[in-house]
Amino acid sequence: MLPTHTVDVYRLTKTGNNQEYDPTAVITGLDSTIFPAQTDILAVYPELPAYATYEVFVYQPVTLENADKLKSGDDEYIIRGVPTVYDTSLAYYQRMVAEKVI
């Protein structure tokens, strides 16, 4: 798949009882493909609204975590769950589910 978005990644930090996203991106300029989730994904995540559930693919070996925020222009997506890593002799990519911030 060809990249459709370039995203910056922000990590959720916890201090005491407070949680907030670091104002500085931990990764910038990450090429990714983002598109609405297929029905098989929606069946696994029934708690996420279908209109805001997306599949995200990244093609660089970076560390992404549950609850990381991906920003592309004015759009923001929150990673839900742990990304699945596919690493073979022919290709490398990570696949994850994200919820679009509306």
Pairing, β 12-15 against β 5-10: unpaired
pTM: 0.89
Question: In angstroms, rounded to a whole number, what is the distance separating the alpha carbons of residues 32 and 18?
Answer: 30
**19-36 pLDDT per residue, tens:** 999 999 999 999 999 999
The Cβ of residue 56 has, within 10 Å, a number of other Cβ atoms equal to 22
Residue 8 pairs in a beta bridge with 71
Can you give the residue ranges of every domain in the chain? Answer: 5-100
Per-residue pLDDT reduced to its tens digit, 72-97: 999 999 999 899 999 999 999 999 99
CATH 3.40.30.10 fits 5-100, yes or no: no
